[in-house]
C-alpha cells in the first residue's frame, strides 16, 4: 500500500488514497489541460480526483482551476508518494576472518520515508538462495552504515548484500559484495552415527556419516579413528586422509571375532585436530558363507515343512564340532558367520516338521576368503606433463594368509573438492588425463578377493602453474619423503624420451 498525502491550501479540496497493487491500469487526471477537457467528469466526481496505479514519480504539485464567465478560482495540492527505500550502495567487505566479516555501505534513496532499519543477507555455494545473518550490533538502525557479520563458517566463500526498510516496507536489496572466502580454522563438528561391524575375521569395520564440505573448515581434511577393546585403557589412533571416506577397516590378527570395541571418530585439517564423537560400541568381524537351497514342495507323504536345518563343518570332521542353524518358514538362504578365514567348510541342509528332521542333502564345500593385503603400495613415482600425470609403483607382495592382489585403485581429487574419482587398473602404472589447474591429492590401494587393502599415504601433486612459478622443469623428477614409507618419485617416461 502506498499512501498519498495531499496538502491543500484552498478549495476545491483534493484528497485520495490509492494502492499500487491494483492490476487495473490507472488514469492520471492531474493535469490542468487534461482536466479542462473533461468538465462532466469533474461535476460527477464532486471535486475528487483519483490516480490509480500511482508511482513514486507521481509526487509533485497539482493545480486545479475552476472557470466561469465572470472569474476563475485555483487551488494547489502537493502530492507526496512514499515507498520502501531504494537499494543500498557500495557494499564492501573491509575485513574477513574465519567466522566474522566487517561490512560497510551507503544508504540509497529513502523514497520520502526515513530509513528505519538495515539487514544483511549472505549467500554461499552451499546455501539455498540468500539467508539472513547475525550481526553486531544486532539491530542496525537507519543511521548505521557498517556492521560485523558473525557466525560464519570457516573456509567458505561468501557474498553479502544489504536491505533497507522504513514504515512503508522493505526495499530492494543492494548489489552483492565481492566474493570472498573466510579463513581456515580447526574443524569443530564431529562425525555422527558411528557404527560398523561385519567384515572378515581379524577386522574391525567402522562407519560414520561424513562431514559436508562446508563444515570441513580448511584444506587437508580427514578423519581420526580412536579405538580400543572394551576394558582396555590404551587407545589406538588411526588417520583417514580421504575427505569423502565414511568407512575404515582396522586389521589385526589378534582381534577375536565378535569382540566389542570402544570407538570414537574425530576430524582434522591443516590447522589441527578437531572434535571427537562420543564413544560407540562396535563389534569386530568374522568370516561367513551363504548357503542356499531349493524348497521342498508340500505333498501328502511328507506333510507341511516347518523349516530347514543347516549343518556345517570343517575338513577335520568331528561330530562334536558340527554347527547347526535352524530357519523357519519358507526361507531358502542363510548366512553362516563366525567362520575361520582361509578354511575349507562343508555344508548340507535338511528339512524338518513336527515329526522330526528329514535326510540331509549331499554336502557342498567352500573355502573362506583370505583377508585383504595389509601392505600399501610403495615406491610411488609420478611425472606431470601438461595435463597428463603418469604414476608408477611397486607390486604389493602379500602374506601367506592374505588374498592375492588382483589390481589397484587410484583415488584422486582436486585439493579444494570433496568428490573423489576412482581409476582401476591391473597394472602397476597408470595415466591420468585431468586439467591440473589445482593441486591434486592421490592415493593408491590394492584390490583383492578379500576386499580392498590398505591405502598408500596421500600424495599432493602441485598444479602446473605452481611448478612453473617455482622454476621447476616439468620433465624433471621430483623427490618426496613420506612419514611411514620413503617414496622416491621418478618417472620411467623420462627414460622413454632418451
| Per-residue pLDDT tens over the stretch 349-375 | 999 998 889 899 999 888 877 777 878
Alpha carbon distances (Å) from 191 to 137, 205, 278: 33, 16, 9
Instruction: Return the closest-CA partner of residue 181 out of 228, 203, 214, 223.
Output: 214
User: Does residue 92 have a pLDDT over 90?
Assistant: yes
| Per-residue pLDDT tens over the stretch 384-410 | 877 788 999 999 998 887 888 999 999
Among 90-104, 163-177, 471-485, where is mean pLDDT lowest? 471-485
Among 4-8, 187-191, 426-430, where is mean pLDDT lowest? 4-8
Domains of the chain: 4-81 (no CATH), 89-181 (2.60.40.10), 192-283 (2.60.40.10), 291-367 (2.60.40.10), 381-497 (2.60.40.10)
Instruction: Return the closest-CA partner of residue 400 out of 371, 433, 357, 426.
Output: 371
User: Does residue 464 have a pLDDT over 80?
Assistant: no
- Omega of the bond leading into 393 within 30 degrees of 0 (cis): no
Confidence band for 6, pLDDT divided at 50, 70 and 90: very low
H-helix segments, 174-259: none
Alpha-carbon distance 186 to 219, whole Å? 10
Averaged pLDDT for residues 337-360: 86
Report the mean per-residue pLDDT for the chain: 79
DSSP 135-165: EESSSEETT--EEEEESPPTT-EEEEEEEEE
Alpha-carbon distance 413 to 440, whole Å? 6
| Per-residue pLDDT tens over the stretch 225-275 | 999 998 888 999 999 988 888 999 998 888 877 788 999 999 999 999 999
| Per-residue pLDDT tens over the stretch 46-87 | 566 777 788 888 888 888 888 888 888 888 888 899 999 999
The answer to whether 207 and 247 are in contact (CB under 8 A) is yes
The structure's pTM equals 0.54
DSSP-derived letter for residue 294 is P
Q: Which of 16-25, 160-169, 374-383 has the highest mean pLDDT?
A: 160-169
Amino acid at each position: 500500500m502506498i499512501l498519498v498525502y495531499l496538502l491543500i491550501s484552498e478549495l476545491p479540496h483534493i484528497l485520495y488514497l490509492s494502492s499500487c497493487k491494483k492490476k487495473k491500469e490507472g488514469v492520471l487526471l492531474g493535469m490542468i489541460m487534461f482536466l479542462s477537457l473533461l468538465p462532466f467528469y469533474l461535476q460527477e466526481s464532486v471535486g475528487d480526483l483519483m490516480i490509480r496505479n500511482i508511482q513514486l514519480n507521481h509526487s509533485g504539485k497539482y493545480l486545479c482551476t475552476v472557470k466561469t464567465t465572470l472569474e476563475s478560482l485555483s487551488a494547489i495540492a502537493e502530492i507526496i508518494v512514499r515507498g520502501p527505500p531504494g537499494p543500498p550502495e557500495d557494499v564492501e567487505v573491509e575485513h574477513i576472518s574465519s567466522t566474522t566479516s566487517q561490512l560497510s555501505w551507503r544508504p540509497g534513496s529513502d523514497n520520502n520515508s526515513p530509513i528505519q532499519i538495515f539487514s544483511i543477507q549472505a549467500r554461499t555455494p552451499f546455501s539455498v538462495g540468500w539467508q539472513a545473518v547475525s550481526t553486531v550490533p544486532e539491530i542496525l538502525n537507519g543511521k548505521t552504515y557498517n556492521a560485523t557479520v558473525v557466525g560464519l563458517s570457516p573456509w567458505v566463500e561468501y557474498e553479502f548484500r544489504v536491505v533497507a526498510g522504513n514504515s512503508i516496507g522493505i526495499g530492494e536489496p543492494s548489489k552483492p559484495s565481492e566474493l570472498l572466502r573466510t579463513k581456515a580454522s580447526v574443524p569443530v563438528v564431529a562425525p555422527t552415527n558411528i557404527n560398523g561391524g561385519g567384515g572378515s575375521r581379524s577386522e574391525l569395520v567402522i562407519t560414520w556419516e561424513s562431514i559436508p564440505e562446508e563444515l570441513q573448515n580448511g584444506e587437508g581434511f580427514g578423519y581420526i579413528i580412536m579405538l580400543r577393546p572394551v576394558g582396555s585403557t590404551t587407545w589406538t589412533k588411526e588417520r583417514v586422509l580421504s575427505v569423502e571416506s565414511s568407512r575404515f577397516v582396522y586389521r589385526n590378527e589378534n582381534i577375536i571375532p565378535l569382540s566389542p570395541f570402544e570407538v570414537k571418530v574425530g576430524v582434522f585439517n591443516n590447522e589441527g585436530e578437531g572434535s571427537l564423537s562420543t564413544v560407540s560400541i562396535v563389534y569386530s568381524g568374522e568370516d561367513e558363507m551363504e548357503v542356499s537351497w531349493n524348497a521342498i514342495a508340500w505333498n501328502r507323504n511328507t506333510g507341511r515343512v516347518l523349516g530347514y536345518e543347516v549343518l556345517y563343518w570343517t575338513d577335520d570332521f568331528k561330530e562334536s564340532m558340527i554347527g547347526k542353524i535352524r530357519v523357519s518358514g519358507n526361507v531358502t538362504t542363510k548366512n553362516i558367520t563366525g567362520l575361520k578365514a582361509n578354511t575349507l567348510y562343508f555344508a548340507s541342509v535338511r528339512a524338518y516338521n513336527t515329526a522330526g528332521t528329514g535326510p540331509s542333502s549331499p554336502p557342498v564345500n567352500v573355502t573362506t576368503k583370505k583377508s585383504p593385503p595389509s601392505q600399501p603400495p610403495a615406491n610411488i613415482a609420478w611425472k606431470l606433463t601438461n595435463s597428463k600425470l603418469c604414476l608408477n609403483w611397486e607390486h604389493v607382495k602379500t602374506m601367506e594368509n592374505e588374498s592375492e592382489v588382483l589390481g589397484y585403485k587410484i583415488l584422486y581429487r582436486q585439493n579444494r573438492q570433496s568428490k573423489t574419482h576412482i581409476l582401476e587398473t591391473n597394472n602397476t602404472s597408470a595415466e591420468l588425463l585431468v586439467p591440473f589447474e589445482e593441486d591434486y591429492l592421490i592415493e593408491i590401494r590394492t584390490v583383492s578377493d578379500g576386499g580392498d587393502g590398505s591405502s598408500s599415504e596421500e600424495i599432493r601433486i602441485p598444479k602446473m602453474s605452481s611448478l612453473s612459478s617455482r622454476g621447476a622443469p616439468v620433465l624433471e623428477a621430483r623427490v618426496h619423503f613420506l612419514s611411514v614409507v620413503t617414496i622416491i618419485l621418478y618417472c620411467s617416461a623420462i627414460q622413454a624420451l632418451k
